[in-house]
Amino acid sequence: METVHPTCVTCRRPLPGTDLPRYACSVCQAAAARMLADLPALYLSLSWPARRGDVEASRGAAFGSRPPISLAALDATARGSLALQALTGWVRDWAETLSTETREIAEPEWPEGHAGQVVTACRWLRWHLDAACRSHAAIDEALAEIRDAYREVAAAAGEPGPRVVRLLCPCGGVLTADATTRGVLCRGCGKEHGRAALGGLQRAPRSGGVAA
């Protein structure tokens, strides 16, 4: 009888038997940890009322000619933004879900401002990330929302997005993926390639191939 090995709920990579139990693999955990580490500085760069570049640019400008306000920055730092709602929401969820009869996990002391709450949430989530990856059944949803929040804030801050690569499906179709892609469905043959399978595909030539 064939043995079915557990796989990561996020990237479908096989989980090593020496590192169980866990729902999300160590690679996905490390990627989320990096995003949570970088998010506070990116968020603060958007919420800071007068960044150095804006101040210096306005010194030589005429009255009423201030640099335009970034709508993307406003959206990423608003009360209902994905970063604020998702990160603080998962703090509350993990505090309840990861607590046991013998160990209660408390929420952090929340500051009043949005920026402070995002910084606090990122720090708290990083601290409890390993426990969540090992025991939280919905960790795939949490990691997806952390990734989406990071992308939104990074894009608003002008950070370059992940590098996109073109891969060749065995049918000849061309697939596009980046470091955060969980899977790709080839429109040429209908086959779905998980994250682990994407790593074994050849790079597509610069031209040619069936669009997928």
Q: What is the model's pLDDT at position 179? A: 63
DSSP assignment of 118-139? HHHHHHHHHHHHHHHHHH-TTH
Is 100 in the same domain as 194?
no
Residue 107, pLDDT > 80, answer yes
Q: What is the model's pLDDT at position 100? A: 80
Task: Find out whether 196 and 13 touch, Cβ atoms under 8 Å.
Answer: yes
Is 100 in the same domain as 151?
yes
Is 30 in the same domain as 106?
yes
Is 37 in the same domain as 94?
yes
Give the residue-averaged pLDDT of 170-184: 78
Is 70 in the same domain as 130?
yes
Look at the block and give the residue holding tokens 């500051």: 111
Is 118 in the same domain as 204?
no
Task: Name the residue with higher pLDDT: 132 or 44.
Answer: 132
Global model pTM greater than 0.85:
no
In a domain, 4, yes or no: no
Task: Single out the residue of 80, 87, 160 nearest to residue 120, CA to CA.
Answer: 87
> Cα dist. 66→32, 44, 55, 153 in Å?
37, 21, 9, 23
Is 133 in the same domain as 177?
no
In a domain, 5, yes or no: no
Is 127 in the same domain as 24?
yes
Is 115 in the same domain as 169?
no
Both tokens assigned to 180: 């955060």
Is 188 in the same domain as 93?
no
The alpha carbon of 104 is separated from its chain's Cα centroid by a whole number of angstroms, namely 27
Query: In total, how many domains does the chain have?
Result: 2
Task: Find out whether 36 and 129 touch, Cβ atoms under 8 Å.
Answer: yes
Task: Single out the residue of 127, 138, 141, 160 nearest to residue 86, CA to CA.
Answer: 141
Is 52 in the same domain as 115?
yes
Which amino acid does the sequence have at 144?
A
Residue 81, pLDDT > 80, answer no
Which of 156, 173, 196 lies at the terminal end of a domain, its last residue? Answer: 156
Structural domain span for residue 108:
17-156
Q: How far apart are CA 78 and CA 99, in angstroms?
A: 30
Task: Find out whether 51 and 77 touch, Cβ atoms under 8 Å.
Answer: no
Q: What is the model's pLDDT at position 76? A: 52
Both tokens assigned to 182: 């969980």
Q: What is the model's pLDDT at position 207? A: 54
In a domain, 12, yes or no: no
Both tokens assigned to 147: 């990734």
Is 198 in the same domain as 178?
yes
The mean predicted confidence, pLDDT, of the chain is: 77
Could you give the angle at the alpha carbon of 53 between the alpha carbons of 52 and 59, nearest 5°?
90
Could you give the percent of the chain with pLDDT greater than 70?
Answer: 73
Taking 3-state DSSP, the helix, strand and coil percentages for the chain, each rounded to the nearest 5, stand at 45, 10, 45
Q: How far apart are CA 96 and CA 4, in angstroms?
A: 31
